[in-house]
């Protein structure tokens, strides 16, 4: 990491590690668990998702709670599956190239890759010894994160956050190589190691003046995607669409849907979009990371997270009292957290090796 990158990621709150947003809220969390007389009561917020989506849930299984018409074609690949069987399943499901490979349990975009050929699948599976999802590539041009909640006693919910995802792009100047353009761009240069890895075949290529180059079209902040506050787009028609979807899930009451679409009007009309991921209780209202918004800031982000935790508190308690949801034991929950801690370290390590290979 260069000095400039280090300075920016240290001084600009948008890039601060996530634990800094949550440490100040620990007393609040502790107070709520005491009030609920349970350390794990929040784990029944979303009965349709394993432990309500605390990070250990299968992303493949979570997508299955949605109506099929709204999701990409996806295949769960168990670890150590032979390449020939993987390719056969892709052929049976009519998933061609490009496609997306990503961990079945994942976060922050680690090891999410756009795959162009069979060799890339083979290389990926050789490096990643865990269950994986192969997903059809959705070539809609835009991506949005919609944060939604609905009380179990109600047919109608509320959208509390919309995040527009701006993919990292630069433009050719007819003189400079791609690597030079990346190193000169204020935002792209912060992700130069990642982008060198993704575009290693074209780093010396010179693009014509004005040629748009999409550096990454995977909508993760860790891959350079900029999160923009889109809360002005919240409206009754869009909320009704998410209501309709939520009511078909069998118990997804809280979290964020990440959706790819071509234009917002079609999305609101329920057309030409795909839900590529559903998140639960650990998901964030990611509009808080739009540092350009006049109301944004580190303390505003903490406040927004706290307000969303209040929603979790309300839904979870309703599920326990009114629906009789069975809580896991503290021992069971801690066991899952231990697994997540070990798995997270491995995922980060493998992702870093992949970056540098």
pLDDT 10s digits, 100-142? 999 999 988 889 999 999 999 999 998 899 999 999 999 998 9
Query: Rounded to whole angstroms, how far apart are CA atoms 126 and 129?
Result: 7
Report pLDDT digits (tens) over 209-218: 999 998 887 7
Q: Using DSSP, state whether 264 is helix, strand or coil.
A: helix
pLDDT over threshold 60, residue 156: yes
Distance CA 3, CA 9 (A): 10
**pLDDT digit string (tens) for 15-59?**
888 889 999 999 999 999 999 999 999 999 999 999 999 999 999
Q: How confident is the model at residue 355 (pLDDT cuts 50, 70, 90)?
A: low
């Amino acid at each position: 990491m260069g000095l400039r990158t280090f300075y920016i990621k240290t001084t600009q709150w948008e890039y601060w590690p996530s634990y800094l947003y949550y440490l100040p809220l620990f007393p609040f969390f502790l107070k709520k668990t005491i009030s609920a007389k349970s350390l794990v009561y929040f784990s029944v917020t979303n009965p349709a998702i394993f432990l309500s989506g605390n990070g250990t849930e299968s992303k493949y299984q979570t997508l299955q709670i949605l109506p099929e018409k709204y999701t990409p074609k996806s295949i769960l690949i168990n670890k150590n599956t032979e390449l020939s069987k993987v390719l056969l399943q892709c052929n049976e499901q009519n998933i061609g190239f490009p496609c997306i490979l990503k961990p079945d349990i994942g976060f922050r975009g680690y090891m999410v890759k756009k795959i162009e050929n069979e060799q890339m699948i083979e290389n990926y599976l050789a490096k990643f010894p865990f269950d994986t999802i192969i997903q059809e590539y959705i070539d809609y041009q835009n991506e949005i994160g919609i944060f939604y909640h609905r009380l179990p006693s109600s047919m109608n919910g509320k959208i509390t956050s919309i995040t527009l995802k701006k993919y990292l792009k630069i433009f050719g100047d007819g003189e400079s190589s791609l690597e030079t353009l990346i190193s000169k761009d204020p935002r792209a240069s912060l992700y130069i190691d990642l982008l060198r890895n993704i575009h290693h075949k074209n780093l010396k290529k010179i693009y014509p003046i004005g040629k748009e180059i999409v550096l990454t079209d995977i909508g993760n902040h860790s891959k350079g995607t900029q999160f923009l506050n889109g809360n002005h787009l919240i409206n009754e028609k869009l909320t009704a669409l998410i209501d309709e979807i939520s009511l078909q899930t069998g118990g997804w009451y809280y979290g964020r849907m990440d959706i790819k679409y071509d234009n917002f009007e079609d999305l609101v009309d329920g057309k030409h979009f795909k839900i590529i991921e559903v998140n639960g209780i650990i998901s964030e209202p990611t509009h808080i990371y739009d540092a350009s918004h006049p109301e944004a800031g580190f303390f505003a982000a903490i406040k927004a997270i706290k307000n969303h935790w209040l929603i979790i508190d309300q839904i979870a308690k309703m599920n326990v009292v009114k629906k009789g949801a069975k809580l896991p034991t503290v021992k069971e929950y801690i066991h899952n957290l231990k697994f997540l801690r070990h798995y997270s370290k491995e995922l980060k390590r493998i992702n870093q090796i992949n970056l540098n290979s």
